């Protein structure tokens, strides 16, 4: 029966994602300038979003570790692209934590530096397969998210919207935000049409996201 096949396929994809993210993921390096980027080996997926969107928490939830990606209240790493790889394994998949944007008090020069680094990275990274653009489910798309969508379209990097902190909303509210974000990205050239909902607090959607990322990695 087709339903059984679909269910089997989904189970296999989720299992593949689980196994990939259960491996020993480690911080490989933080990079503040394009000149410092590691060689582009294997494939990369990157995570972007406003500061405080829950990006570190989601990366930690993906890998099942409490402190791989540092949360926003530890400054220092925040202006860098941080690279995470599986210890001792050939470079099949690298996760890239992009610096959060939208600090209310950020100086213009910092915003310009952020945009420069991100633009150079996005434009030049041949092995970057997808950017997950994280959006706080309570707030939906903000002006600086829309600017980032424009940047992604301009650099023609494939991206997908992921709502975070879904546990903070009632189901109907969550569905409304998902529909709103899906409508906003529908006409954008490089966007994946499906919007994912996640919660690092409850684990909602985390296995689905692991499965999606694993599916980007060649067997
Ligand atoms: P980052 O700045 O994007 O890396 O955000 P963090 O991961 O540091 O999270 C920012 C704040 O949101 C922290 O106080 C987290 O505890 C909280 N947070 C992150 N993810 C979730 C979630 O899924 N649910 C809830 N309720 N809170 C979350």
User: How sure is the predictor about 76, in pLDDT bands with cuts at 50, 70 and 90?
Assistant: very low
Measured in Å, residue 57 CA sits from the centre of ligand 1 at 6
Assigned domain for 219 exists: no
Whole-angstrom distance, CA of residue 184 vs CA of residue 145? 11
Assigned domain for 159 exists: yes
Assigned domain for 7 exists: yes
Assigned domain for 180 exists: yes
* CB of 165 sitting under 6 A from ligand 1: yes
Taking the model in full, what pTM does it have? 0.94
Residue 86 has pLDDT above 90, yes or no: yes
| Count: domains in the chain | 1
Whole-angstrom distance, CA of residue 15 vs CA of residue 175? 26
* CB of 103 sitting under 6 A from ligand 1: no
Assigned domain for 13 exists: yes
User: What is the average pLDDT across 23-44?
Assistant: 94
* CB of 139 sitting under 6 A from ligand 1: no
DSSP states of 128-191: EEEEEEEEETTT---HHHHHHHHHHHHHT--EEEEEE-GGGS-HHHHHHHHHHHHHHHTT-TTB
Domain assignment of residue 97, given as a range = 2-214
Residue 164 has pLDDT above 60, yes or no: yes
Residue of 166, 172, 161 whose CA lies nearest to 195:
161
What is residue 162's predicted lDDT score, i.e. its pLDDT?
A: 98
pLDDT tens for 47-66 read 999 989 999 999 999 999 99
Assigned domain for 135 exists: yes
54, 95, 148: residue to mutate for ligand 1 pocket, most atoms within 8 A of CB: 54
Assigned domain for 207 exists: yes
User: What is the average pLDDT across 170-186?
Assistant: 96
CATH of the domain at 178: 3.40.50.300
User: How sure is the predictor about 115, in pLDDT bands with cuts at 50, 70 and 90?
Assistant: confident
What is residue 113's predicted lDDT score, i.e. its pLDDT?
A: 77
- b or e along 108-118 (b: 16 or more beta carbons within 10 Å of the residue's beta carbon)? eeeeebbeebb
Kindly state the greatest CA–CA separation across the chain.
59
């Amino acid at each position: 029966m087709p339903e059984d096949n679909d269910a089997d396929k989904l189970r296999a994809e989720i299992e593949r994602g689980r196994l990939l993210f259960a491996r020993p993921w480690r911080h490989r390096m933080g990079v503040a300038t394009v000149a410092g980027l590691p060689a582009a080996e294997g494939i990369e997926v990157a995570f972007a979003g406003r500061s405080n969107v829950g990006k570190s928490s989601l990366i930690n939830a993906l890998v099942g570790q409490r402190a791989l990606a540092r949360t926003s209240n530890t400054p220092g790493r925040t202006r860098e692209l941080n690279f995470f790889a599986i210890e001792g394994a050939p470079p099949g998949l690298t996760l890239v934590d992009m610096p959060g944007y939208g600090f209310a008090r950020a100086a213009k020069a910092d915003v310009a530096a952020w945009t420069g680094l991100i633009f150079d990275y996005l434009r030049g990274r041949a092995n970057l397969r997808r950017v997950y653009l994280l959006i706080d489910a309570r707030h939906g798309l903000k002006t600086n998210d829309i600017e980032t969508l424009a940047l992604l379209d301009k650099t023609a990097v494939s991206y997908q919207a992921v709502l975070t902190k879904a546990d903070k909303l009632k189901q109907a509210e969550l569905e409304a935000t998902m529909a709103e974000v899906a409508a906003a990205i529908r006409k954008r050239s490089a966007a994946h049409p499906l919007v994912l909902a996640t919660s690092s607090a409850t684990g909602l959607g985390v296995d689905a996201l692991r499965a999606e990322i694993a599916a980007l990695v060649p067997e």
